[in-house]
A and B are shown apart, each in its own frame.
Chain A
Amino acid sequence: DVKVTQSSRYLVKRTGEKVFLECVQDMDHENMFWYRQDPGLGLRLIYFSYDVKMKEKGDIPEGYSVSREKKERFSLILESASTNQTSMYLCASSPDRDRGGEQYFGPGTRLTVT
């Protein structure tokens, strides 16, 4: 059974803080993704990675960066958190390198920036 875990379910940070969200998958998947989920907007892609140290910007990368030093781990970094980054953050992974296949999601981290 594929398992995607995220380091925190709930997180409260102050404006201007540096925030790290961690994601780990245990199925040796090549692809990993970060989305944010907001009411009425669905899920929007922030960044994804298709291999270690490889990353590509998604649809809304501004204010975020990522790191993938190991295949199983994909980190999302908010360099200087702002209130408009209050959201639910979902990590996902998938085994396909060459086509868009099914993705497996973690439980999400609800981040509040005050």
Chain B
Amino acid sequence: AQSVSQHNHHVILSEAASLELGCNYSYGGTVNLFWYVQYPGQHLQLLLKYFSGDPLVKGIKGFEAEFIKSKFSFNLRKPSVQWSDTAEYFCAVTSPDTGRRALTFGSGTRLQVQP
């Protein structure tokens, strides 16, 4: 079964610090990769996605992620975080060639940005 690992469970940063959240997945075939964010009290919403093409993907609010196929990784980055980035971040994957339409999620990373 496919799995997704997020090794950072809780990250605390000061404003303006750089952010990198790790995500690794287990499936060796074609994958669609996502980062979702859940701000306190709000819906889960899409931050960015990768289906194919340029492995460096830019999303909303200055976030980006890099797909490295050889490392089975899709790490999320932001050069300078803000207090408003405090949220929980989830990496997720689907694998179209297995027919699985549902997302497989990582366990999430809680980011706390201190002013």
Contacts and interface: CB of A to CB of B under 8 A. Distances in A.
Given A105-B43, A105-B45, A100 B105 contact: no
Interface residues of B, number: 27
B60 interface: no
B96 interface: yes
A86 to B, nearest CB: 18
Contacts of B6: 42
Given A43-B105, A44-B105, A100-B103, A106 B43 contact: yes
Most buried by B among A33, A43, A50, A92: A43
Contacts of A31: 101
B35 to A, nearest CB: 11
Nearest to B96: A99
A100 B43 contact: no
B2 to A, nearest CB: 10
Given A40-B107, A43-B90, A102-B46, A50 B9 contact: no
Interface in B6-57: 6, 9, 32, 34, 36, 42-46, 49
B111 to A, nearest CB: 15
Contacts of B92: 43
A94 to B, nearest CB: 7
Nearest to A43: B105
A17 to B, nearest CB: 27
Interface string B73-108: 000000000000000001010111000111111111
A62 interface: no
Interface of B: 1, 4, 6, 9, 32, 34, 36, 42-46, 49, 90, 92, 94-96, 100-108
17 contacts: A41-B107, A42-B90, A44-B105, A45-B103, A48-B102, A92-B103, A94-B101, A99-B32, A100-B32, A100-B96, A100-B102, A100-B103, A102-B34, A103-B103, A105-B43, A105-B45, A108-B44
5 tightest Cβ-Cβ pairs between the two chains A and B? A100-B94, A99-B96, A42-B105, A105-B44, A43-B105
